[in-house]
Amino acid sequence: MDIADVSGITADTALHGIFDTHCHYDDHAFDGDRQAVLDRIFSHGSPVEYLMHACTDLVSAEYGIAAARKYPNYYCSVGIHPEVFDKEYGIYRGGLPEGYIDRLKKLAADTNVRAIGEIGLDYHYEGSDTPEMKAAQTELFEAQLMLANELGLPVIMHCRDATEDFLALCRKHRPKGVCHCFSGSAETARELLELGLYIGFTGTLAFKNSKKTKRAFAAVPTDRLLFETDAPYMAPPPFRGCRCESDMIAYAALEAERLSGMPAQELIDIASENAKRLFGISV
Ligand SMILES: [Zn+2]
């Protein structure tokens, strides 16, 4: 996805107390001004109060742990994203890093690591739904689900074009956690809720053509709702196609207000409490 350089654009609303439960500030889209963006997010008067770094590989884990040490309300996950098998991705083209479960376990001992993620299944890209690729993704996902259960940590899960296999593995391992950037059906949302999982909504909730996501949102009780950006991706209108930053959650929350009739601030407060409960943050 191309992300226009729009540094400096911020969502101008009076909302506050936002917990962005899924963001990638180690992405190259932030290489030019990462520190300035994070300093702004954690400055006095910012609408955003908490961040959860969604980790994608071992390098990303090191970033998350260092960032969480620097900023008081920045938490992180550690885990390996299913796209490591994407031939465009590159880093682990030669295979997964040796001993990656033990390495993740060591990283997870850091006090700011509050989840295993982002992990899951992604059959979207060409060549990622062959039997070999599915088997490799399943093995990686299951190993990390078992790690999370062993460590008593929640999971941050990614599922694209893989609903049936994903649900089967959730039923088998019964993780606690969140299915992030939800864009599935209301029926799938209900199945995930029955398994005790939370559902994360990004700015896609505010996309005009996201009728399915809006219907799924209506099926999610507020005590299982999380807000997230997936920054730098998924910027909501009016910033669609631009680099996404955490304060843009305001637009997802305003759409949630329109859909549910509950005030956006109340929804943000509830979703932030949900996130703190899920990630074991007591403040
Ligand atoms: Zn993500």
What are the residues whose beta carbon lies below 5 Å from ligand 1 (ion)? Answer: 54, 230
pLDDT for 9 equals: 42
pLDDT the model gives residue 84: 81
pLDDT average, residue stretch 173-184: 96
Average pLDDT, the chain: 91
Mean pLDDT of 4-21: 67
What pLDDT is attached to residue 132?
84
Ligand 1 centre distance from Cα of residue 120 (Å):
11
Is the pLDDT reported for residue 241 higher than 90?
A: no
CA–centroid distance, residue 16 to ligand 1 (Å)? 23
CA of 200 to the centre of ligand 1 (A): 11
Q: What pLDDT shows up at residue 94?
A: 56
The string of DSSP codes covering the chain is ---B--TT-----S---EEEEEE-TTSGGGTTTHHHHHHHHTSTT-SEEEEEE---SHHHHHHHHHHHHHSTTEEEEE---GGGG-TTT-TTTT-SPTTHHHHHHHHHTSTTEEEEEEEEEE--STTTTSHHHHHHHHHHHHHHHHHHHHHT--EEEEEES-HHHHHHHHHHH---EEE-S--S-HHHHHHHHHTT-EEEE-GGGG-TT-HHHHHHHHTS-GGGEEE---BTS-PPTTSTTBPP-GGGHHHHHHHHHHHH-S-HHHHHHHHHHHHHHHTT---
Q: How far is the CA of 23 from the centre of ligand 1 (A)?
A: 6
At 283, the pLDDT band (50, 70, 90 cuts) reads: low
Statement: residue 243 has pLDDT above 70: yes
Q: Taken in order 211, 49, 149, 116, is the CA torsion positive or negative? A: positive
Q: Which comes out higher in pLDDT, residue 276 or 9?
A: 276
24 CA from centroid of ligand 1 (Å): 7
Q: Please, what are the domains in the chain?
A: 18-278 (3.20.20.140)
**Has residue 93 got a pLDDT over 60?**
no
CA of 230 to the centre of ligand 1 (A): 5
- Residue 179 pLDDT > 60: yes
pLDDT at residue 110 tops 90:
yes
Give 120-140 as a DSSP string: EEE--STTTTSHHHHHHHHHH
Distance CA 194, CA 171 (A): 10
List pLDDT tens digits, range 189-226.
999 999 999 999 999 999 989 999 999 999 999 999 99
Between the CA of 122 and the centroid of ligand 1 the distance, in Å, is: 12
What is the chain's length?
283
> Ligand 1 centroid vs 174 CA: distance in angstroms?
21
Ligand 1 centroid to residue 231 C-alpha, Å: 8
User: What are the pLDDT digits (tens) for 114-154?
Assistant: 999 999 999 988 778 888 889 989 999 999 999 999 999 99
Distance 99 CA to ligand 1 centre (A): 23
Per-residue pLDDT, 133: 86
Residue 22 has pLDDT above 50, yes or no: yes
Centre of ligand 1 to C-alpha 194, Å, is 23
Percent of the chain with pLDDT over 90: 80
Q: Report the pLDDT value the prediction gives residue 112, as an integer from 0 to 100.
A: 98
Task: State the pLDDT confidence band at 267, using cuts at 50, 70 and 90.
Answer: very high
pLDDT at 276 over 80: yes
Q: What's the pLDDT score for residue 88?
A: 54
Q: What's the pLDDT band for 8 if we cut at 50, 70, 90?
A: very low
